Chain A
Amino acid sequence: MLFLIYISSGLFLGWSLGANDAANVFGSAVGSKMVRFRQAALIASVFVILGAVFQGKGGAETLNALGAVDALAGGFTVSLTAGLTVMLMTRKALPVSTSQAIVGSIMGWVLFTGNKPDISVLIKIISTWVSGPILGMFFSGLLYFLLRKFLKRAKIHVVKLDTYIRISLILTGAFGAYSLGANNIGNVMGVFMQSAPRISIDFGLFMLDGAQLLLLLGGIAIAAGIFTYSQKVMQTVGNGLLSLSPEAAIVVVLSQALVLFIFSSSELSNLLIRIGLPPIPLVPVSSTQVVVGAVLGIGLAKGSNEINFRAFGQIAIGWIATPLVAGILSFFALFFVQNVFNQQITSKQTGKSIIESDSIHGNTLESLQLDFVIPFVILTVLVILTALIFFIMRQQRLRLKAENELLAQQNQYFHAQRTISELEMKAIQSRNELLNSNLDKKRKEFIDMAFNLTEQRLFLEEIITRLEELARSAVDSSNNNDLRSVIALIRQKMSFSKEKENFYGEVEMIHKDFKTKLETSFPSLTEQEKKLATLIRLNLSNKEIATLLSISPKSVEVSRHRLKRKLGLQSEDNLMQYINSI
């Protein structure tokens, strides 16, 4: 427990590193919305932990060699002051690097305890501060140049290129996160390496020793920083400093990952030794400074106009200011811890090493080997099962969402259709009403016309009767002849042939369908009977029909009877009702 409290300052430093430096890896991708934050955070966390555990020892050991902080309270203070330096300088918007802060703090411890610093290690570390950004610039310039050449030749459609870029951003981001974990975990846990528990745990597939377990804790702290605080930083950095084109973002992340990987890979260093070249120093370098170098490298590849030389100046200020501030802070903090809290900040005071002095790490733990194969397998299976269940549930939820959306759309469509149908119905109804009123109006007109003709006929018959009486009583034969010719003229007019022609023309136009139906259903009907049926349909009286057909009302009655028979009706059936139903 005490051990955990002591390393809490390291965990805080790890959290701060995760919150700030994950933006160097996924800032452009998240800021430009090419990759979602949750996706980026998950990938970055997993790969940071992997890098820290499997490749983080080199950098951590170099820091340890600079000044072997051999007491837990000393490690706590060194780590805390480095974290505070980063926080303070970030607040003051000064260029700062965790790597340089921790070196400054260690140097503060070395000076305070009066230990002799390993100058060769110090030179090695400082040389990487300079070579890191320069290497980043070189890599990015070269990669950018090659990528542009390739894209020019490949002529990939911009839409397809977008998918390739997304894949590349994820892959380079994963590599970048791995390298960040491998290289920068030294900053977080380097000062506690001496106090690493002497145990090893067998997970079946791999085995972790005490140092690696410490690095795992640091990696988890970085992952916590990524998940809890890096989103805002990614958005800010992605839309500000790293607001690059997606191609440039890939190059910057890849260059940074390569530089950090080179300065943390013991395999690569050993390979160089084997082929007779000098080894690569395994030192934590500032990812931010490498990124700045990489961005400048892209500017260089595009043309010197784009280079912002002020950025170099800021890096140089960081080289001097950060270790200086951290060293001073560390020196005074150690003084405070030693004299106020009476904590042992170095083993020199008691002559006991950190392991010996710590009650937790007694001889019992020294050669402890734990077999975690079964729990690890169970845990792995559980994780896979949980992921599977989560994935299936997510798919189900998405499918359900899609189905609901479809249903909502169909409902909307159905309602729209129903409204349209109702409107159409209303329109048809109003049109029918209009047609009916027009029909009634026309029917009335026809009745008026028929009534008018009947009236005229009766009036003319009256005139003829009077004229015939006058003709009979006339003495003068010439007058008699004149009267007879007037009577003939009136009788000619009484046929109303022109008016009737007009009348039938209009009636036929209105009742065209009726006539057609009548003709098809009863082909044996004569023309006169069809006319009679039409006039009955108009609801005209026998007298009016007689006038229109130029027959007597009695004859109309006979014709109606004959029509009834031809239509196949019984005597009790209503002729008018039947005709109206056709």
Chain B
Amino acid sequence: MFSFRHANSSIQLIDGFIDHIDKGIIIFKEGVFNYLDGNNSSFLDNLRTLSSLETEADIIRRKVENILYTQSLMPQLRGDIMRLLEELDNLIDLAKKNLYQFDVEIPFIPGELHQDMKKLTELAVAACESVLPAARSYFREPDKVKEKLHRAYLFEKEADKLADSIKRRVFRDMPNLKLSEKFHLRYFTLHIETISDAAEKAADLIGIIAIKRNI
């Protein structure tokens, strides 16, 4: 009844899960950069690594869920914790899907957009990276969560702005592109932007559940 064994193993699993998400989004950034720079073999390598990280993250999440529910740990908080893990898992899921879309659809990205696309990826990844310390904080210092989240909101806002500017440039200043190519670029901009939106959603959730813990 008073065993710390399950508590310790859950803590290790949760920490490991967040580490996986962290690594996953870094690999996503590398992957997009490699795609834009034309390093095909490195890109494929990133894709494989990200895919295995995503699978492992899913397995860890299920293990945590299993321990929390079978051992009746934290009956009042486990729902919040599982929702948090799902939102974080969503980040790596989206990152993997996006990188796969690059591999499958091979979008044509004109050279003049490379810098902007890299910047957009960096902003989306930065939004995710800002959410993770807040998520870690939720477990140990819920009152510090808020001060760690404002960066995530800032990066998400910046990513939105940049994505709009890219789409504007594609449709207004690039008459040489075919309409299909313009659509394709719009979708890929949107895909990357979705990651920062997911980070914002996770940040909202962390903010709420941290307040619940402080009440």
Interface centre among B7, B74, B75 (most CB of A within 10 A): B74
Is A408 part of the binding interface, using a Cβ–Cβ cutoff of 8 Å?
no
Interface residues in B1-20 (C-beta closer than 8 Å to A)? 1-4, 7-8, 10-11, 14
Q: Which of A33, A152, A160 contacts B75 (CB 8 A)?
A: A33
Q: Which of B1, B77, B81, B215 contacts A166 (CB 8 A)?
A: B1
Is B141 part of the binding interface, using a Cβ–Cβ cutoff of 8 Å?
yes
Q: B73 near A162 (CB under 8 angstroms)?
A: yes
Interface residues in B137-155 (C-beta closer than 8 Å to A)? 138-141, 143
Q: Which of B72, B138, B213 contacts A33 (CB 8 A)?
A: B72
Instruction: Given A32-B76, A34-B75, check contact A245 B215 (CB 8 Å).
Output: yes
Q: B7 near A166 (CB under 8 angstroms)?
A: no
Is A485 part of the binding interface, using a Cβ–Cβ cutoff of 8 Å?
no
Interface residues in A153-203 (C-beta closer than 8 Å to B)? 155-160, 162-163, 166-167
Please name the residue on chain A nearest to B215 by beta carbon: A245
Tell me which residues across on chain A come within 8 A of B4, comparing CB atoms.
160, 163
Is A246 part of the binding interface, using a Cβ–Cβ cutoff of 8 Å?
yes
Instruction: Given A152-B141, A152-B143, A245-B215, check contact A159 B73 (CB 8 Å).
Output: yes
Q: B2 near A162 (CB under 8 angstroms)?
A: no
Q: Binding site of A, secondary structure by majority: helix, strand, loop or mixed?
A: helix
Query: Closest CB-CB distance, B18 to chain A, in whole Å?
Result: 12
Instruction: Given A33-B75, A158-B213, check contact A163 B2 (CB 8 Å).
Output: yes
Query: Closest CB-CB distance, B13 to chain A, in whole Å?
Result: 10
CA distance A158 to B85 in the complex (A): 14
Query: Closest CB-CB distance, A169 to chain B, in whole Å?
Result: 11
Q: B7 near A160 (CB under 8 angstroms)?
A: yes
Tell me which residues across on chain A come within 8 A of B1, comparing CB atoms.
166
Q: B74 near A158 (CB under 8 angstroms)?
A: yes
Tell me which residues across on chain A come within 8 A of B7, comparing CB atoms.
157, 159-160, 162-163
Interface centre among A155, A159, A162, A246 (most CB of B within 10 A): A159
Q: A159 near B140 (CB under 8 angstroms)?
A: no
Q: Which of B2, B74, B141, B213 contacts A167 (CB 8 A)?
A: B2
CA distance A162 to B78 in the complex (A): 11
Q: B8 near A155 (CB under 8 angstroms)?
A: no
Q: B215 near A158 (CB under 8 angstroms)?
A: no
Q: Which of B2, B72, B75, B77 contacts A158 (CB 8 A)?
A: B77
Q: Which of B2, B72, B139 contacts A159 (CB 8 A)?
A: B139
CA distance A357 to B72 in the complex (A): 58
CA distance A159 to B9 in the complex (A): 10
Tell me which residues across on chain B come within 8 A of A246, comparing CB atoms.
76
Tell me which residues across on chain B come within 8 A of A160, comparing CB atoms.
4, 7-8, 11
Q: A32 near B140 (CB under 8 angstroms)?
A: no
Query: Closest CB-CB distance, B136 to chain A, in whole Å?
Result: 10
Tell me which residues across on chain A come within 8 A of B11, comparing CB atoms.
157, 159-160
Contact with B along A233-247 (1 / 0, CB 8 A): 000000000000110
Tell me which residues across on chain A come within 8 A of B14, comparing CB atoms.
159
Q: A162 near B139 (CB under 8 angstroms)?
A: no
Tell me which residues across on chain A come within 8 A of B140, comparing CB atoms.
155-158
Tell me which residues across on chain A come within 8 A of B213, comparing CB atoms.
158, 245
Please name the residue on chain A nearest to B80 by beta carbon: A158
Query: Closest CB-CB distance, B124 to chain A, in whole Å?
Result: 29
CA distance A158 to B11 in the complex (A): 9
Interface residues in A127-159 (C-beta closer than 8 Å to B)? 152, 155-159
Q: B77 near A162 (CB under 8 angstroms)?
A: yes
Query: Closest CB-CB distance, B83 to chain A, in whole Å?
Result: 14
Please name the residue on chain A nearest to B76 by beta carbon: A32
Query: Closest CB-CB distance, B135 to chain A, in whole Å?
Result: 12
Please name the residue on chain A nearest to B64 by beta carbon: A159
Query: Closest CB-CB distance, B38 to chain A, in whole Å?
Result: 41
Tell me which residues across on chain B come within 8 A of A32, comparing CB atoms.
75-76
Tell me which residues across on chain A come within 8 A of B75, comparing CB atoms.
32-34
Interface residues in B178-215 (C-beta closer than 8 Å to A)? 213, 215
Tell me which residues across on chain A come within 8 A of B215, comparing CB atoms.
245
CA distance A160 to B215 in the complex (A): 19
Please name the residue on chain B nearest to A247 by beta carbon: B213
Query: Closest CB-CB distance, A534 to chain B, in whole Å?
Result: 45
Please name the residue on chain A nearest to B143 by beta carbon: A152
Query: Closest CB-CB distance, A466 to chain B, in whole Å?
Result: 68
Tell me which residues across on chain B come within 8 A of A156, comparing CB atoms.
140
CA distance A33 to B74 in the complex (A): 9
CA distance A154 to B176 in the complex (A): 62
Instruction: Given A166-B2, A167-B2, check contact A159 B74 (CB 8 Å).
Output: yes
CA distance A167 to B4 in the complex (A): 11
Query: Closest CB-CB distance, A406 to chain B, in whole Å?
Result: 15
Interface residues in B143-179 (C-beta closer than 8 Å to A)? 143
CA distance A166 to B74 in the complex (A): 9
Tell me which residues across on chain A come within 8 A of B76, comparing CB atoms.
32, 34, 245-246
CA distance A157 to B64 in the complex (A): 15
Interface residues in A1-59 (C-beta closer than 8 Å to B)? 32-34
Tell me which residues across on chain B come within 8 A of A167, comparing CB atoms.
2
Tell me which residues across on chain B come within 8 A of A163, comparing CB atoms.
2-4, 7, 73
Tell me which residues across on chain A come within 8 A of B72, comparing CB atoms.
33
Query: Closest CB-CB distance, A171 to chain B, in whole Å?
Result: 11
Query: Closest CB-CB distance, B10 to chain A, in whole Å?
Result: 5
Query: Closest CB-CB distance, B103 to chain A, in whole Å?
Result: 31
Query: Closest CB-CB distance, B58 to chain A, in whole Å?
Result: 20
Interface residues in B45-87 (C-beta closer than 8 Å to A)? 72-77, 81
Please name the residue on chain A nearest to B137 by beta carbon: A155
CA distance A246 to B212 in the complex (A): 12
CA distance A159 to B140 in the complex (A): 9
Query: Closest CB-CB distance, A307 to chain B, in whole Å?
Result: 15
Query: Closest CB-CB distance, A343 to chain B, in whole Å?
Result: 51
Query: Closest CB-CB distance, A82 to chain B, in whole Å?
Result: 37
Interface residues in B71-119 (C-beta closer than 8 Å to A)? 72-77, 81
Query: Closest CB-CB distance, A238 to chain B, in whole Å?
Result: 11
Identify 8 new A-B residue pairs, CB closer than 8 A, beyond the known A157-B139, A159-B14, A245-B76: A32-B76, A152-B143, A158-B138, A158-B139, A158-B140, A159-B10, A159-B74, A159-B139
22 pairs across A/B with beta carbons < 8 Å?
A32-B76, A33-B75, A34-B75, A34-B76, A152-B143, A157-B11, A157-B139, A157-B140, A158-B77, A158-B138, A158-B139, A158-B213, A159-B7, A159-B10, A159-B139, A162-B73, A163-B4, A163-B73, A166-B2, A245-B76, A245-B215, A246-B76
- Of all A-B residue pairs in the complex, the 10 with the closest CB atoms, nearest first, are A33-B75, A162-B74, A155-B140, A159-B7, A159-B10, A158-B139, A160-B7, A163-B7, A157-B11, A159-B11
**Which residues of B are in contact with A by a Cβ distance under 8 Å?**
1-4, 7-8, 10-11, 14, 72-77, 81, 138-141, 143, 213, 215
